[in-house]
């Protein structure tokens, strides 16, 4: 039996949530997402999907805080990550199953609640940096900072967002279960929202959100993925993005990417973690490549070079 090409696709949380935060709108967005994902599926490909949840977990936290009372206490952040991991996985799994049926493809899809191990001594706990929730004006953020004590920071020129600790992922708790699903030819949705962060020392949940690009990279390493695709809102990476001397990149080596990062070409909280994760993956698997591109380009990825390829 020929070994299948294992492809990890990391979906962004903002690709799931538009201006309409209703369940119906997010499900409709995932219907469109699934149409693109199914284009990757063939007898030679095994698909593994991760996804973000930044906007969703932020909105859920606001709902929890709004209804917080002695009899109905708000859930902690790690539990909110688990809740959004479950809801997005549920929507995506159902959408994929319908699209597979429409394409006359007989494939099973499974979502696994995924815990990701972090170190409580990670410096990230002293410096909250991961944006979650909706974009706000500076004035709105200042009011919420005074009311809740949370930290808000400006995010890539698009507004202010709440920030929480974002420790680096060390390992994935459900490694064996995920590999079992993959080895049985099941499309696997896992590491949603960066995974539920659990402390290495105690295996208990912690108040943090893991960056989904880093968790997806850890997943790609763990399963020996042959291709790591990170989806974003543009078809390619650009140097001097949005400026007159903007330059789109078809390919860059690890050393070039590291140089560009050092020069400050990629925005923190936006493109920077995607490039960092891609570089980390290629360093771990130098015979493979990572691709950063848009959802709309997925259908061409097995036919031609699309997006920006990161190679060793």
Q: Helices 77-102 and 54-66: crossing angle, nearest 10°?
A: 130
Q: Of these residues, 4, 14, 107, 299, which one is catalytic? A: 14
In the set 6, 162, 212, 218, the catalytic residue is: 212
Per the residue annotation, which of 12, 13, 192, 195 is the catalytic one?
13
Q: Which of 130, 162, 218, 289 is catalytic?
A: 130
**Annotation marks residue 274 as catalytic:** yes
Specify whether 303 is catalytic: no
**CA geometry: angle at 118 spanning 153 and 166, to 5°?**
5
Helices in 149-200 by DSSP H: which ranges? 175-183
Closest CA to 213 of 137, 300, 310: 310
Tokens of 174: 């459900």
Active site residue 212: yes
62 Cβ contact list (under 8 Å, min separation 6): 133, 134
Q: Per the residue annotation, which of 6, 162, 218, 274 is the catalytic one?
A: 274
Which residue's structure tokens are 């208990």?
A: 204
Q: Give the closest residue to 292 by CA, choosing from 275, 267, 279.
A: 275
As annotated, the active-site residues are: 13-14, 130, 212, 274
């Amino acid at each position: 039996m020929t070994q299948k090409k294992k492809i990890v696709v990391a979906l962004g949380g903002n690709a799931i949530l538009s201006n309409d935060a209703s369940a119906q709108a997010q499900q409709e967005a995932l219907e469109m997402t699934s149409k693109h994902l199914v284009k990757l599926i063939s007898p030679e490909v095994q698909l593994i999907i991760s996804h973000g949840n930044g906007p969703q977990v932020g909105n859920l936290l606001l709902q929890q805080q709004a209804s917080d009372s002695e009899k109905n206490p708000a859930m902690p952040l790690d539990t909110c990550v688990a809740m959004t991991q479950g809801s997005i996985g549920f929507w995506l799994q159902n959408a994929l199953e319908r699209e597979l049926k429409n394409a006359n493809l007989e494939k099973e899809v499974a979502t696994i609640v995924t815990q990701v191990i972090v170190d409580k001594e990670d410096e990230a706990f002293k410096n909250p940096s991961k944006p979650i929730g909706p974009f706000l004006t500076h004035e709105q953020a200042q009011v919420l900072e005074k009311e809740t004590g949370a930290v808000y920071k400006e995010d890539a020129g698009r507004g202010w967002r709440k920030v929480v600790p974002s420790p680096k992922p060390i390992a994935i708790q459900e490694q064996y279960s995920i590999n079992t699903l993959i080895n049985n030819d099941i499309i696997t949705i896992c590491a949603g929202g960066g995974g539920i962060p659990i402390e290495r020392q105690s295996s208990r949940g912690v108040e943090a959100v893991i960056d989904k690009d880093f968790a997806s990279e850890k997943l790609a390493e763990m399963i020996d993925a042959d291709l790591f695709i990170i989806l974003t809102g543009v078809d390619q990476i650009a140097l001097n993005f949005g400026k007159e001397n903007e330059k789109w990149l078809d390919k860059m080596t690890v050393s070039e990417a590291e140089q560009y990062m050092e020069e400050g070409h990629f925005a923190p909280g936006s493109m920077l973690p995607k490039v960092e994760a891609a570089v980390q993956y290629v360093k771990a698997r130098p015979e493979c490549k990572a691709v950063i591109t848009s959802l709309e380009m997925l259908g061409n990825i097995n036919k031609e070079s699309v997006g920006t390829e990161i190679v060793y």
